[in-house]
Structure 1
């Protein structure tokens, strides 16, 4: 262990403290976003993707910047990609708890399907970057600069889809409709301030998680990509799990699934941030085969989730609820072998 990293006991304690802070704000965060979805007319899928997705992705920013500035490319890149994978696994966990129907069946939303497709497009850009390691603008790969542009166009497509849908999900007794609650309990400006305050609490954990994760790498000798893809992403992705379970509990199924998909997209937007924070050069080449393995596995997980949203198996845990955790475990096993 080097002097520049936190000691192992302090790192473990810091991760536990960050996780506790995240757990405490999860339920009020979901309720606030659900009320804002009704007040603003965004709908649960869009509010989950934009509002909850943005706020619950904030811890990852501090973690990624910390890893990049510390010069650990594998750890830095594993965090946003691992966040996408772990958050998809959260859906499988929520599926076990939602006994009325398959969760992807109940959350019938074309916007959520489009978000998954946008996610696949965004993850394809790092694969191109891995194949062209010598391309760079200053120290950043050009593919990183395309990710926000692809995301912006994806938002345009999602808005067009909501305004003029050309396909409709078949409504069944198990489909949960997005029915706005017209009861006014709290003024809308207060809701926005509450969302901002909760976002500050969530964001503050990011730096702590990053330093603690690097301290665990230094103290245990584990591969940094493995720690980033599993331990720190589980903690930084805890807001998505807590808000997902809270949304399922209050019946906002589409909001919960939209939160996961939106959080995944925001994690992909952190890839340019990771590339910029890592100063020696494009981060993709520096991350090596571990980064490519994680990106490929996460692409497969996202495609499986998208297929589950389209096929909408009626009862119980669908094929995606089994396949997604299996792909994640397989990727971790392969990563451990590489490490």
Structure 2
């Protein structure tokens, strides 16, 4: 694809993401209420995994074409970008710190699951290299662990063994939509998955055109994957999160980011399966390990922010949002000049 065509398609499908993502946010809130699944589960599992399809396809394609550095950097860079988007959404919410207002047990569980999965990647990287049929068995374990973790999060939401203290600034996940003549569960479900498919396809086009645009800069695959395609594939999460915040669906906004990040970690497992030259974990460069470390710090800071629940902080946002933005900017500065 020529560069001018890539730029035009990038702009067009980014606009499509903006329009469809705005509608998807409200439809997701309705779907969560009508099905009884709740904003945390719908945002963290359904929307999070759907929005991550673009990044997943990009990473799998890169790995299959023998570009493991690009595949891993794209997956992990998307997590860094999305967590930073949550900090930016915090800036847009003026009433209180977003992590204070949207604290929930499932969101904390999702954040903890994300930390475990990222740590598992490091563990496998430093373990002896194994390959069965061209795939590291750890990739299968990671997929199983994700499924088990999602099941635990679903059960946690039902049991509610831990409940955040309600304050004047807390925005709880209340049931606002009930099934009636003008709001049918089946119709809402169909609309939800159609909009989700549009967002996922548009995200894929944005990712592919982003690769073309980034390639013209002649930067390393770590920068291209971690910064350009990682941010491009994270655009659906950005649009949906900002829209959810504007509509007052704060639990949905936070869970969309954390849940999408957790699914993005699975991109590493899928990329390992697609990579034909052995274990992809054992070709990680120093820059990718740095990105994993930065991501672990970001997510840990976010979980601490959800627990601490500072009402107002630096520049009107929580201390965790401030540190997440600083870490993103400082981390990529180190990667760029190293």
| Residues 65 and 12 of structure 1: CA distance in aligned 2, closer, same or farther (over 3 Å) | farther
> Pick from 277, 282, 303: which aligns with 2:279?
282
Are residue 327 (structure 1) and residue 327 (structure 2) matched?
Answer: yes
The alignment partner of 2:285 has SS state of: helix
Q: 2:64 aligns with which of 61, 69, 93?
A: 69
Once the two structures are superposed, the pairs formed by residues 234-249 of structure 1 within 5 Å of their partners are: 234-249=231-246
Separation of aligned partners in 2, 1:289 and 1:137: 25
Point out the more displaced range, 325-334 or 214-223.
214-223
The whole-number CA distance in structure 2 between the counterparts of 1:88 and 1:221 is 27
Aligned-partner Cα distance in 1 for 2:99–2:215:
40
Q: 1:121 aligns with which of 116, 124, 133?
A: 116
Q: Secondary structure at the match of 1:100?
A: coil
Does the 8 A contact of 1:67 with 1:214 survive in 2?
Answer: no
Query: Could you tell me whether the CA contact under 8 Å between 1:63 and 1:208 is conserved in 2?
Result: no
Aligned residue in 2 for 1:21 = 16
Distance 2:154 2:175 in 1: 19
1:105 and 1:314 in contact (8 A); partners too: yes
1:273: which partner in 2? 270
Q: Does 1:200 align with 2:197?
A: yes
- Determine the C-alpha separation between the residues in 1 that align with 2:62 and 2:157: 38
Equivalent positions of 1:215-254 (< 5 A) are: 215-254=212-251
In structure 2, which of residues 132, 145, 153 is the aligned counterpart of residue 150 of structure 1? 145
Distance (whole Å) between structure 1 residues aligned to residue 96 and residue 211 of structure 2: 41
Match of 1:51 in 2: 46
Change (3 A) 1:127 1:238: same
The farther-off stretch of 316-325 and 203-212 is 203-212
Q: In 2, are the aligned partners of 1:30 and 1:52 still within 8 Å (CA)?
A: no
1:42 aligns with 2:37: yes
Supply the distance in 2 between the matched residues of 1:291 and 1:142 (Cα, whole angstroms): 21
Any residues of structure 2 matched to 1:88-103 within 5 Å, and which? 88-103=83-98
Q: CA deviation at 1:219?
A: 2.4
Q: TM-score, normalised by structure 1?
A: 0.93
Q: Give the superposition deviation at 1:285.
A: 2.4
Larger mean Cα displacement after TM superposition, 54-63 or 308-317 = 54-63
The CA deviation at 1:276 is: 1.7
Work out the CA distance in 2 between the residues paired with 1:211 and 1:259.
Answer: 23
Moved more, 163-172 or 173-182: 163-172
Conserved 8 A contact 1:133-1:284: no
CA distance in 2, matches of 1:288, 1:42: 40
Alignment partner of 1:304 is 2:301: yes
| Gap runs ≥5 in structure 1 | 1-5
Structure 2's unaligned 5+ residue stretches are: none
**3-state SS of paired residue (1:313):** coil
Give the number of equivalent residue pairs. Answer: 333
Q: Residues 274-312 of structure 1: CA distance to partner in whole angstroms, max 9, x if unpaired?
A: 112222222222231122111111111110110000000
CA separation in 1, counterparts of 2:157 and 2:36? 12
- Pair 1:7-2:17 in alignment: no
